[in-house]
């Protein structure tokens, strides 16, 4: 099979490698759609915890090709998506329902081979039947799960006034989920005009392309969906006293924030973060299957495996028309 491998920071190669065989509780999935995520870009740029070489890709869907002897929920031909974070279910954190902090954590596409390949292996417990859902939508089960976990952490009040900074695919998913959670108003900010306009089409009440234009001290909630340090440094400016900040975007490892301490104190701010997801895959699937989260217009590119590097560069350049970029390793 063909796979895209990051051999060392800043280097991707298309390699030929044997199709894996499933052992015990594993399934082999023929990958049909695999989304490029900011995390893949961090891995490529040497800014993440993964080891090299690695086949990236943790947001994917496909068809069960074969199953190990202990697998009971799946058969070849089933259409599936994967929850890439694999918890041991037997450590201090797992036994306290904090699987995202598992002490023996591994992840498809981060610590073990991922979905930027024609075939990938995953344990049965990480695999979810997507039924008739399209493979393209199936590739959003993982990012949507993460967004659902973040919104659960945030617990916004009904009729919250919210500002989301960053209108990439994650910012748009946050916009849609927060709309479902009964926000009264969602303002979206992105310096990229076409992204900001797209957020408006997707249901933003108002858009801005400059943080300096956003009203201060008025929002119940500010969500950062950029992971960009200078943006995160301004996260306390926009929320009202007693407001909440959700830092959702993934910052580069090793980078430091510089926040003025006094407003955190005097405004009684709650600053939250969110790390991956905890058992949110069925929720994500149900919202997608029922059309409660509609991704129409969110996928801008579908590329073959050999163009993974090109896809990543498109996202990094932030070109006008780039939204979610999917790789189709078997097309």
Name the site residues for Zn ion (rule: CB under 5 A): 37, 39, 87-88, 91, 94, 102
As measured in angstroms, the least distance from the Cβ of 79 to Zn ion is 20
CA torsion through residues 210, 214, 217, 220, sign: negative
Give whichever of 39 and 66 is closer to Zn ion, judged by the CB atom: 39
Closest Cα to residue 66, out of 116, 19, 136? 19
Give whichever of 53 and 275 is closer to Zn ion, judged by the CB atom: 275
Give Cα 8 to chain centroid, integer Å: 23
As measured in angstroms, the least distance from the Cβ of 82 to Zn ion is 12
As measured in angstroms, the least distance from the Cβ of 32 to Zn ion is 17
As measured in angstroms, the least distance from the Cβ of 90 to Zn ion is 6
CA torsion through residues 188, 194, 197, 202, sign: negative
Give whichever of 37 and 162 is closer to Zn ion, judged by the CB atom: 37
As measured in angstroms, the least distance from the Cβ of 270 to Zn ion is 25
Only one residue has tokens 């960009």, namely: 228
Tokens read off for 236: 């306390």
Tell me which residue has its CB nearest to Zn ion: 37
SS3 249: coil
Give whichever of 177 and 187 is closer to Zn ion, judged by the CB atom: 177
As measured in angstroms, the least distance from the Cβ of 303 to Zn ion is 17
E strands within 156-289? 161-165, 185-189, 206-208, 219-224, 239-247, 270-273
167 neighbors 199 (Cβ within 8 angstroms): yes
E strands within 36-165? 60-67, 79-82, 85-86, 106-107, 119-123, 127-129, 161-165
């Amino acid at each position: 099979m063909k796979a895209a491998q990051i051999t060392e920071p800043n280097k991707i190669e298309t390699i030929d490698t044997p199709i894996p065989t499933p052992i015990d509780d594993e399934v082999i999935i023929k990958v049909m759609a695999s989304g490029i995520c900011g995390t893949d870009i961090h891995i490529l740029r040497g800014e993440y915890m993964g080891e090299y070489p690695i086949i990236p890709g943790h947001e994917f869907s496909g068809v069960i090709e074969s199953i190990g002897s202990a697998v009971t929920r799946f058969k070849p031909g089933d259409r599936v998506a994967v929850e890439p974070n694999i918890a041991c279910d037997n450590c201090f954190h797992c036994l306290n329902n904090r699987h995202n902090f598992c002490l023996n954590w591994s992840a498809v596409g981060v610590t073990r081979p991922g979905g930027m390949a024609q075939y990938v292996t995953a344990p049965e417990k990480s695999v979810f039947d997507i039924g008739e859902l399209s493979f393209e939508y199936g590739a959003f089960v993982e990012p949507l799960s993460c967004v659902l976990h973040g919104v659960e952490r945030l617990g916004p009040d009904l009729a919250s006034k919210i500002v989301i900074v960053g209108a990439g695919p994650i910012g748009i998913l946050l916009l849609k989920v927060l709309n479902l959670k009964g926000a009264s108003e969602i303002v979206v900010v992105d310096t990229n005009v076409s992204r900001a306009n797209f957020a408006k089409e997707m249901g933003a009440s108002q858009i801005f392309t400059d943080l300096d234009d956003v009203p201060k001290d008025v929002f119940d909630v500010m969500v950062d969906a950029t992971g960009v340090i200078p943006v995160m440094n301004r996260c306390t400016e926009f929320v009202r006293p007693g407001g909440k900040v959700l830092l959702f975007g993934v910052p580069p490892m090793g980078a430091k924030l510089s926040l003025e301490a006094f407003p955190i104190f005097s405004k009684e701010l709650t600053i939250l973060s969110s790390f991956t997801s905890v058992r949110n895959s069925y929720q994500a699937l149900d919202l997608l299957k029922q059309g409660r989260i509609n991704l129409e217009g969110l996928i801008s590119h579908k590329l073959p495996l050999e163009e993974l590097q090109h896809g990543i560069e498109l996202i990094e350049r932030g070109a006008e028309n780039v939204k979610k970029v999917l790789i189709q390793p078997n097309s």
